[in-house]
Structure 1
Amino acid sequence: MSYEQHPNDEAVTHAAQATIPTALADLGNLVRIPGIAWPAFDQTNLQRSAAAVAALFEETGMFDSVEVKTAAIPGTDEHGQPAILATRAAKNGKPTILLYAHHDVQPQGDAELWETPPFEPTVRDGRLYGRGAADDKAGIMAHVAAVRTMKEVYGDDLDLGISIFIEGEEEFGSRSFAQFLSDNIDALRSDVIVVADSGNWDSETPGLTVSLRGNARFTLKVRTLEHASHSGMFGGAIPDAMMATVKLLSTLWAADGSVAVAGMTERDAETPEYTEATLRDEAGLLPGVSPIGNGTILSRIWNKPSITVTGIDFTSVEAASNTISPEVTVVISARVAPGQEATEAYAAMEAHLRANAPFGAELTFSDVDLGNGFLVDTSGATVSLARQAMHDAYGKAPVDLGVGGSIPFIADLVREIPGADILVTGVEDPHSRAHSPNESLHLATFQNAVVTEALLLSRLNAQTK
């Protein structure tokens, strides 16, 4: 990969590197705020988090306006969680870039599984540990550090337009995202969009995400009895709800663990080499446990559907008694292959479950949440510019990545801001353990990500629309 160096590249690189200590200190302060969008958690922490993020962008002195705003949740009387909107107008015919990340985080999960407190940032072995340290408060700080770099190198002479959108409910379904876009479209309209919520090939090799799976999540209640009954009196004659649920759920997968639902499609695309040993290392697969599915490992993660049971309501082990249960409720989360509509995949799953309900079990579907996947157009000049910036920052050519996760709101961005080049980047590496205990950020990766974004902003500033 070749690129004619811009006169400011060296200054930008040095300035970006110099921002890292302050950026990491600020990241630690953000990690200490447990901003979780689930209603069961203290929502004032999201207000604290939003105010802290807004202050970071305000302090750069680079924006015409910095606001904390909310938007209505369509179909309800509620508003979404606080988001940060900052704008800087382009000058002299330069493009505008929109930088996205989110400040809300996943719940901590089982505190006993954390080696250090989840909301107390801790550095060890070249990584910063803490909930949100990678997903996605590091994405926020990559944006802040890149803007600080522009301030240091260009000052008031920067002509590039910059908009900032830091969401507050991405981990809770981005319920007000589309409305927020619609309400603020004039401020958010841009030529380039950077979604800093993905990952890299490894801690040393950058990745540009070019495909994302969609998602289809829903709650399923399986009911077999009007009321609970004594297992000694009726066991063997009537189906308990758990047995019916286990038999029903087992039909979703083939013997090798691949999805066995007619109508859920796969994408045919080549994938880079990725060994089972790497999978075991990065995913923590136990020695005696085999991978599931068929085809190349990355095709299973990037290009094929998956179905996971992520929650269940049933009698706890401590409260277990000799009782035949009347109902079981589960949450099913499916990843949908890129190119298939989430509505189509959900319809296929619902039809499959209804057709396979054992013993005539009564099924109820609710809380359906759907999001489409995304395929990036990699032919544009901005994608080339991003790849070049990654190469120069990391010293390695980037890998085009598919991602098994979902960022459904990208479809909203495409709809509301047509024609914008969308770059899906990130600061995570395969050992970041986002959503899991002991989430962490690789510090060298973070520095390279900051340099990448600063170089991208500087080089966009040299272009005209």
Structure 2
Amino acid sequence: MTPDQIENAVAAEMPRAVEELTRLAAIPSVAFPGHPEEPVYAAAAMTEELLRSTGLPHVRQIPIEGSFPAVYGEAPAPPGAPTVLLYAHYDVQPAGDPALWRTPAFEPTFADGALFGRGVADDKSGVIAHVLALRSFQGRFPVGVKVLIEGQEEYAGERLEEFVQRNPELVRADAIVVADTGNPSVGDSSVTTSLRGLAAFTVEVRTLAGSVHSGSFGGAAPDALTALIRILASLHDDNGDIRVPGLPRGVFLGSGPSEEEFRATAGVLDGVSLMGTGPLADRLWASYAITVTGLDVPTVQGAINAVQPVARARVTVRVPPSGDPKTAMNDVVEHLGHAAPWGVTLSVTDVVLGSGFQADTGGRARSALNRAMQRAFGRAPRDIGSGGSIPLVSTLVKQFPAAEILLFGAEDDGAAIHAPNERLVIEELRRAATAEALFLADYGDC
């Protein structure tokens, strides 16, 4: 197929694809403990249906021990052609507080050229981008194709990695396209060349056998919540830089956003300073970051006049590509223990670890992608980093060191992934799918 034919084929399929994305995003496929499992299986079933519609001759669900099924598709390579693995995931983050959404999280709503709803960007847009790209070839693929759509990436995604390690031939490929990232801004053609790793854990403080009246015991009884607040506050200095020993700052060899761009994208309020010092690219993509992502304490509405006996926090550590997540977690936990007041002890549970990634940017597949993105976006892509982690990527790097791993997609930094009012710009989906299809054709001809 010519580039013009590919572009026209993707454009012709866009109305159908948007309708399918709307249906897929309406399924609340939250694979976290405590959420219903039926919607996750329903999303797997629809993903299987979508892959079958692309002309792939072999599509099936693969059970993953201790997790939800992966959806797998395959087409053999034409003689002499390389094989490409396409990855995405169909599970999503929880919606969070419904009051913060302008439209219901699982009732996707179209407005101003964008689709709003949980998962429309992260990462059901990746699923649909693969489907769009593959449909453009009408079953006559220029490369060997393998598709792996995961069902539990957002929560403790190590189970699929274990499966891949035991079944390497199933996913062996010359190039791997990971459609779970995107551009810094809409239309800003970019390829993610580094990912920070992840260490997440729950820390608990206990001080009393049970809650006691704050009027009778406050002032002497050790308050677990106050202790936890003091412990967590010790993680950063007054500038917002990390105070934990053993977590050095890194350097990103590329350009990052300006402070004005970052403030606008992140929605930083006027008069509020950014955390940390040094170049933004270093802070966002090459250095450690520590975030408290949740607290288990009484709500303000449910508060009573009592000294709290127990308090918990979820702590997430973002780890530079060269760092070791387990070592970083141990350093943070040791620091928290030293900061604990009044002799209280800490316990740590529910640990999740994920390694980072640094790409080789000079291969044949990357050259083909550069040409494809130049045509689809009207500008050659630049290299960027990502503060996020994708658990499977580090496993693929170790399993297939010769394979080129390419991270790009339809998300952008303004898509509010993991946050209320997540959105996907439909034109960005078209460009990302077009770039993927053009890449497959170009790479097959190399």
Task: Work out whether the TM-score is over 0.5.
Answer: yes
Residue of structure 2 equivalent to 1:216: 199
Residue of structure 2 equivalent to 1:44: 38
Q: Following the alignment from structure 2 to structure 1, what is the Cα–Cα distance between the partners of residues 167 and 137?
A: 25
Residue of structure 2 equivalent to 1:376: 359
Alignment of 1:156-235 (within 5 A): 156=140, 158-235=141-218
Shift of 1:370: 0.9
Match of 1:441, as an amino acid? L
Match of 1:115, as an amino acid? R
Residue of structure 1 equivalent to 2:20: 26
Does structure 2 conserve the Cα–Cα contact (< 8 Å) formed by 1:265 and 1:340?
A: no
Q: Following the alignment from structure 2 to structure 1, what is the Cα–Cα distance between the partners of residues 374 and 287?
A: 29
- Establish whether residue 86 from structure 1 lines up as the match of residue 76 from structure 2: no
User: Per-residue CA shift, 1:339-360, capped at 9, x if unaligned?
Assistant: 1111111111111111221111
- Establish whether residue 105 from structure 1 lines up as the match of residue 100 from structure 2: no
Does structure 2 conserve the Cα–Cα contact (< 8 Å) formed by 1:80 and 1:175?
A: no
Shift of 1:107: 1.3
User: Per-residue CA shift, 1:264-287, capped at 9, x if unaligned?
Assistant: 122222442522221221111111
Does structure 2 conserve the Cα–Cα contact (< 8 Å) formed by 1:92 and 1:159?
A: no
- Establish whether residue 282 from structure 1 lines up as the match of residue 275 from structure 2: no
Q: Following the alignment from structure 1 to structure 2, what is the Cα–Cα distance between the partners of residues 182 and 273?
A: 34
Match of 1:137, as an amino acid? K
1:135 is aligned, of 105, 110, 122, to: 122
- Establish whether residue 310 from structure 1 lines up as the match of residue 288 from structure 2: no
Aligned to 1:94, what secondary structure does the other structure show?
coil
Q: Following the alignment from structure 2 to structure 1, what is the Cα–Cα distance between the partners of residues 99 and 346?
A: 36
Query: Which deviates the most, 110-119 or 138-147?
Result: 110-119
Shift of 1:60: 2.1
Query: Which deviates the most, 203-212 or 415-424?
Result: 415-424
User: Per-residue CA shift, 1:307-364, capped at 9, x if unaligned?
Assistant: 1111111122233222211221111111112211111111111111112211111111
Per the normalisation by structure 1, the TM-score is: 0.93
Which segments of 5 or more consecutive residues in structure 2 lack a partner in the other structure? none
Shift of 1:19: 1.8
1:427 is aligned, of 410, 422, 425, to: 410
Match of 1:144, as an amino acid? V
Does structure 1 conserve the Cα–Cα contact (< 8 Å) formed by 2:256 and 2:384?
A: no
| Residues 456 and 278 (structure 1), Cα distance of their counterparts in 2 relative to 1, 3 Å cut | same
2:348 is aligned, of 365, 370, 390, to: 365
Match of 1:309, as an amino acid? V
Shift of 1:52: 0.8
- Establish whether residue 250 from structure 1 lines up as the match of residue 233 from structure 2: yes
Aligned to 2:192, what secondary structure does the other structure show?
strand
Aligned to 1:117, what secondary structure does the other structure show?
coil
Shift of 1:233: 2.6
User: Per-residue CA shift, 1:170-210, capped at 9, x if unaligned?
Assistant: 11121321132134422211111001001102101111001
Residue of structure 1 equivalent to 2:61: 68
Q: Following the alignment from structure 2 to structure 1, what is the Cα–Cα distance between the partners of residues 184 and 310?
A: 43
Match of 1:318, as an amino acid? Q
Q: Following the alignment from structure 1 to structure 2, what is the Cα–Cα distance between the partners of residues 179 and 339?
A: 22
User: Per-residue CA shift, 1:207-263, capped at 9, x if unaligned?
Assistant: 100111111100101122233233223322232111111111111001111111001
- Establish whether residue 95 from structure 1 lines up as the match of residue 68 from structure 2: no
Which segments of 5 or more consecutive residues in structure 1 lack a partner in the other structure? 1-6, 73-78
Alignment of 1:139-150 (within 5 A): 139-150=126-137
Does structure 1 conserve the Cα–Cα contact (< 8 Å) formed by 2:249 and 2:288?
A: yes
Residue of structure 2 equivalent to 1:76: none
Alignment of 1:309-328 (within 5 A): 309-328=292-311
Residue of structure 2 equivalent to 1:456: 439
Q: Following the alignment from structure 2 to structure 1, what is the Cα–Cα distance between the partners of residues 391 and 430?
A: 28
2:52 is aligned, of 53, 58, 66, to: 58
Does structure 2 conserve the Cα–Cα contact (< 8 Å) formed by 1:56 and 1:144?
A: yes
- Establish whether residue 350 from structure 1 lines up as the match of residue 333 from structure 2: yes
Aligned to 1:197, what secondary structure does the other structure show?
coil
Q: Following the alignment from structure 1 to structure 2, what is the Cα–Cα distance between the partners of residues 314 and 298?
A: 35
Q: CA RMSD in A?
A: 1.5
User: Per-residue CA shift, 1:51-89, capped at 9, x if unaligned?
Assistant: 11111111222x2310011221xxxxxx21121011111
Does structure 2 conserve the Cα–Cα contact (< 8 Å) formed by 1:46 and 1:82?
A: no
| Residues 112 and 227 (structure 1), Cα distance of their counterparts in 2 relative to 1, 3 Å cut | closer
Query: Which deviates the most, 226-235 or 275-284?
Result: 226-235
Alignment of 1:411-450 (within 5 A): 411-450=394-433
Does structure 2 conserve the Cα–Cα contact (< 8 Å) formed by 1:218 and 1:369?
A: yes
Aligned to 2:362, what secondary structure does the other structure show?
coil
Does structure 2 conserve the Cα–Cα contact (< 8 Å) formed by 1:304 and 1:337?
A: yes
Q: Following the alignment from structure 2 to structure 1, what is the Cα–Cα distance between the partners of residues 316 and 154?
A: 14
Paired residue total = 446
Runs of 4+ residues over 6 Å off in structure 1:
none
User: Per-residue CA shift, 1:98-118, capped at 9, x if unaligned?
Assistant: 000000111111112211222
Match of 2:93, as an amino acid? Q
